[in-house]
């Protein structure tokens, strides 16, 4: 009877160790859930960014006003009949 009790105790301890520290343990499942939540948040942010970029591409394809505004802001476009003034502090 003592041998059986000792064997059962050893089995119980080994199962508990696996449950708390082995593959598929509570700690690993918690860590994976946290990683999934972080990735889901990042995917949401990237999806919003992609939607903004698609809208910007559509604007650039269809409207010249958007292209002109972008060229003025980034390339310093000066239209015909306009005068350029450089203000230096």
pLDDT digits (tens, 9 = 90+) for 12-54: 888 877 777 767 778 888 999 999 999 999 999 999 999 999 9
pLDDT of residue 53: 95
Is the full-model pTM beyond 0.75?
A: no
Tokens 């203000």: give the residue: 87
Residue 20 has a CB neighbour count (10 Å cut-off) of 10
Burial tier of 85 (Cβ tally within 10 Å: 0-12, 13-18, 19+)? exposed
Which range, of 21-25, 36-40, 62-66, 67-71, averages the lowest pLDDT?
A: 21-25
């Amino acid at each position: 009877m003592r041998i059986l009790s000792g064997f059962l105790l050893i089995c119980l301890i080994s199962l508990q160790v696996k449950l708390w520290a082995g593959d598929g343990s509570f700690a690993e499942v918690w860590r994976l859930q946290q990683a999934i939540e972080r990735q889901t948040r990042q995917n949401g942010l990237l999806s919003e960014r992609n939607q903004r970029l698609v809208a910007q591409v559509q604007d650039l394809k269809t409207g010249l006003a958007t292209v002109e505004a972008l060229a003025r802001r980034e390339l310093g476009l000066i239209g015909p009949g306009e005068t350029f003034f450089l203000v230096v502090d």
